[in-house]
Amino acid sequence: MKQMHPLYIALDFSDGERAIHFLEVNKLQGVPVKVGMELFYKEGPLIVQQLRKRGHPVFLDVKVHDIPNTAEGAVRSLASLDIDVLTVHAQGGKEMMHRAKQAAGEVRVLAVTHLTSMTEEVLKEELGVHDAMEEIIPRLAVQAEESGVDGVVCSVHEVSSIKAETGKDFLTLTPGIRLEGEPSHDQKRTATPERARENGADVIVVGRAITQAKDPRSVYDYIKKELERNEPG
Ligand code: C5P
């Protein structure tokens, strides 16, 4: 099974040239990166090849969500790229997640529970879902584990309740990371890297806190060090 890294930088750039320029200018050679929809839809598999050629481990975050048969085919296509991990939506259901996992081979599969931009208000008022987020998310995580995928994507706030319901090898990956006092942008359920570590998140994804920083390399190094601290708190 492919290895995952503790920290991925989200390369939410509009094209490959900008993404690679950002990595080169800021001396972020070889760091693990996340390629999301914006970049992948623009550049396709070529961007993964370019990043791999430069030594970057790649997390491909295109959140597959379709009927099980289509999702399985999509994951088979994605897993033929040289990537560590890819994502599907847990809300696609257990059969979809299971077939995605079967198609992924050595590539890890993580299921997105709810986007970290989602709020209970939106769930209730726009989607007609009345259960509390803290009930829905561990439930989706248990379904994800039962389907056989390797872990879930969730906010830092949900890591401990998920860990309480799932096995010790079941991974949690958390986006929505912000440094103390930073703007949260469109994210609603944010937390600091320190809190992510304290709560037991296995992997974190950081986008704008690094890509929009004055000195992205020093913020990357700071977060990496925070994650490596092993004393509690
Ligand atoms: O800039 P920021 O750190 O908020 O970026 C977070 C990244 O994580 C984005 O690329 C977003 O697509 C992704 N993500 C998320 N919430 C999820 C799953 C993925 O924010 N539940």
pTM above threshold 0.85:
yes
Q: Is residue 199 part of a domain?
A: yes
Q: Is residue 1 part of a domain?
A: no
Splitting the chain (233 residues) into consecutive groups of 10 residues, what average pLDDT does each group show?
Answer: 96 98 98 98 98 98 98 98 98 98 98 92 95 94 98 96 96 96 91 96 97 98 92 52
Q: Is residue 69 part of a domain?
A: yes
What tens digit of pLDDT does each residue of 76-112 get? 999 999 999 999 999 999 999 999 999 999 999 999 9
Protein residue with its CA nearest to atom 2 in ligand 1: 207
The confidence score (pLDDT) of residue 229 equals 87
Sign (positive or negative) of CA dihedral 197, 1, 23, 61? negative
Domain of residue 99, CATH code: 3.20.20.70
| Ligand 1 neighbours (beta carbon < 6 A) | 10, 12, 36, 61, 112, 115-116, 153, 175-177, 185, 187, 205-209
Protein residue with its CA nearest to atom 5 in ligand 1: 207
Q: Is residue 2 part of a domain?
A: no
Rounded Cα distance, 50 and 45, in Å: 9
Q: Is residue 190 part of a domain?
A: yes
Q: Is residue 90 part of a domain?
A: yes
Q: Is residue 91 part of a domain?
A: yes
Which residues span the domain enclosing 164?
A: 7-229
The confidence score (pLDDT) of residue 232 equals 53
Catalytic residue among 2, 63, 94, 224: 63
Cα distances from 98 to residues 54, 79, 140, 150, in angstroms, run: 32, 15, 13, 11
Structurally, the chain folds into a number of domains equal to 1
With H, G, I as helix, E, B as strand and everything else as coil, classify residue 9: strand
Residue 63 annotated among the catalytic residues of the structure: yes
9 CB neighbour count, 10 Å cutoff: 26
HEC-encoded secondary structure of 102-114:
HHHCCCEEEEECC
The confidence score (pLDDT) of residue 233 equals 47
Q: Is residue 105 part of a domain?
A: yes
The confidence score (pLDDT) of residue 116 equals 84
